Amino acid sequence: MKTSSLLAVALTAVLAASGVASSAHAQLGGLRKLAPGGGQPNATAGDPDAFLSETLETTKLVWSAATLLALAVDEDGKQEEARAQLAAIQGASSLRELQAQKASFEANVATVNANAADAAALQAKYDNASANQRTLMLNAAYNFTIGMMRNVELGQQAPSLISGLQSNPMQATKLGSLRAAAGLLGDQVQATRSMVGPMRTLLSRGGVEVPANATASNARPIDL
């Protein structure tokens, strides 16, 4: 399955799970097959605490990748600012703390879109980049991709986890956290839908294959 299809499947799953805009869901409604490995059981299935922990880590992965992509494609990018953003993202110990970085995440996505809005623009950025910049771009695109693929599983689990807690008044606090996590996944999807094409272009140009099982795949290291 092509990268664009894998990511579109991820978007469809998370949009449905988090209940965000039906019009956006309709745009991807024809894609029903799961990404390879996407429907396999994992450690978070049925476990609210594991779900929240995985949502935190996956969101960190996607938001960090967006920071790095923005740095790579923006000629006026500031390395120290990117380092500070990465430190804040990686240092967050809860989804509530991570929410403080949401504006920066959305700004980074906007920067990527402004500087690499189509396949030709992004390809030119990659071709004219230094070897280190190319590595940065490919690793960030790879991490972004597996992060969104992991959201396939998270998006599928959210409805059943929320439903299971609704009948237990003792879990009211955790229920709110689950709903907030599902909403955060939906917000991510809305912000990054436009990045599906650029990610496909970049990975293809660099000869990087999307893993069959994103959950079992390690993120690529980044050295700023």
28-51: pLDDT as tens digits: 332 223 233 333 335 455 788 899
Query: Contact 14/149 with Cβ under 8 angstroms?
Result: no
Model-level pTM greater than 0.85? no
Closest alpha carbon to 151 in 60, 29, 88: 60
- What is the spatial distance between Cα 224 and Cα 34, in angstroms, rounded to a whole number? 34
- CA distance linking residue 109 with residue 111, whole number of Å: 5
Quick one: pLDDT at residue 173? 77
Share of the chain residues as helix, strand and coil, in percent rounded to the nearest 5: 75, 0, 25
What mean pLDDT value characterizes the chain? 76
Task: Answer for the pair 13, 214: CB distance below 8 angstroms, yes or no.
Answer: no
Mean pLDDT of 206-217: 78
The count of other CB atoms within 10 Å of the CB of residue 133 is 15
Query: pLDDT confidence of 8, banded at 50, 70, 90?
Result: low
Cα 223 to Cα 220: distance, rounded to the nearest angstrom: 10
Q: What is the mean pLDDT of residues 128-137?
A: 88
